[in-house]
Structure 1
Amino acid sequence: MSGAPTTAAAAPGPVTVVFLGDSFVAGVGDPTGLGWTTRLVADARARGTDLTAYPLGVRRNTSADVLARWERETTARLPRAGRTGLVVSFGVNDATDGDDGGPRVALDDTVANLRALLVGAASAGLDVLVVGPPPIADERVNARVAEVDARLRAEAEAHGATAVGVLGPLRAAGPWMTQVHDADGAHPGGEGYAALAALVRPAWRTWLAGLVAPDAVV
Structure 2
Amino acid sequence: MIRDLRICFVGDSFVAGAGDETALGWVGRVTAAAWQRGVALTAYNLGVRRDTSADLRRRAEPEVLARLLGAGDAKAVVFGFGANDCTLEDDMPRVPPEASVENAVALLAWAAARWPVLMLGPPPLAHDAAHDARAAALSSRFAAVCEGMDIPFLDTHGPLSGIAAWRNGALRGDGVHPDGAGYAALAALVEQWPAWRNLTRP
Q: Normalising by structure 2, report the TM-score.
A: 0.93
1:133 aligned partner: 122
Q: Which aligned pairs between 1:39-118 and structure 2 lie closer than 5 A?
A: 39-78=29-68, 79-98=70-89, 100-118=90-108
Shift of 1:185: 0.8
Q: Any idea what SS the aligned residue of 2:28 has?
A: helix
1:147-172: CA deviation from partner (whole Å, max 9, x where unpaired): 11001111112111110001112112
1:208 CA drift (Å): 2.7
CA distance in 2, matches of 1:82, 1:118: 18
Distance 2:146 2:2 in 1: 26
SS at match of 2:93: coil
What is the distance in 2 between the residues matched to 1:160 and 1:202?
19
Which is greater in Rg?
1
Alignment of 1:1-218 (within 5 A): 13-78=3-68, 79-98=70-89, 100-123=90-113, 125-136=114-125, 137-203=127-193, 204-209=196-201
> One-letter code of the match for 1:17?
I
Task: Say how many residue pairs are matched.
Answer: 198
Q: Which consecutive unaligned segments of at least 5 residues does structure 2 have?
A: none
Whether the aligned pair in 1 keeps the contact of 2:29 and 2:184 (CA below 8 Å) is: yes
Per the TM alignment, residue 182 of structure 1 is displaced from its structure 2 partner at its CA by 1.5
Task: Note the alpha carbon deviations across 1:72-118, whole angstroms, 9 max, x for none.
Answer: 111100143332110100010000112x2111100011111010011
**Unpaired stretches in structure 1, ≥5 consecutive residues:** 1-10, 213-218
How far apart, in 2, do the equivalents of 1:32 and 1:160 lie? 35
1:26 is displaced (CA, Å) by 0.6
Could you tell me how far apart the structure 1 residues matched to 2:21 and 2:2 are?
34
AA of the residue aligned to 1:16: R
The residue identity in structure 1 corresponding to 2:52 is T
Deviation at 1:121, TM superposition (A): 1.2
Identical aligned residues as a percent: 44
**Shift, 1:173, TM fit:** 4.3
Which stretches of structure 1, 4 residues or more, deviate above 4 A after TM superposition? Answer: none
SS in 2 for 1:134: coil
- Contact map agreement 2:3 2:38 (CA 8 A) in 1: no
Q: What amino acid maps onto 2:20 in structure 1? A: D
How many Å separate the matches in 2 of 1:173 and 1:89?
A: 19
Deviation at 1:70, TM superposition (A): 1.0
| C-alpha distance after superposition, 1:8-27 (max 9, x if no partner) | xxx97422100000011110
User: What is the CA RMSD across the aligned residues, in angstroms?
Assistant: 1.5
Q: Is residue 121–residue 156 contact of structure 2 (8 Å, CA) maintained in 1?
A: yes
Distance between the aligned counterparts of 1:83 and 1:173, measured in 2?
34
